[in-house]
Amino acid sequence: MTTPKLARDAGYPQSKVTSPAGATATRSDVLQGKGPFLLGIAGKTTDPRAILLMKTGEVIRAGRGDRTPSGTVLAIGADQVQLKTSFGHVLALTLAE
């Protein structure tokens, strides 16, 4: 049995990374800090879902109006998600390039 090649040192087999968002999500140099991070946007354009990496390391999928540990999803764009925190601040998360 051979050992799979890891996706840019992130611990995930390279053969499983098939999208630009997936490739970005496996880059250890992109995910710096405490989070949350926007890993990708998925779903229909009429009902998109944000794929978010939380501070705890949990990856969640959330739509507009959904509550997350970091806040409620206000809006989802092509490359950005806005969350309203419990303190009333708006947090904008952008996809890494």
| pLDDT on residue 57 | 85
Q: Note the pLDDT tens digit of each residue in 36-81.
A: 999 999 999 899 999 999 988 899 999 999 999 999 999 999 999 9
| pLDDT on residue 86 | 92
Burial 41-60 (b: 16+ CB within 10 A, else e): beeeeeebbbbbbeeeeeeb
Where is 20: in which H helix or E strand? helix 20-25
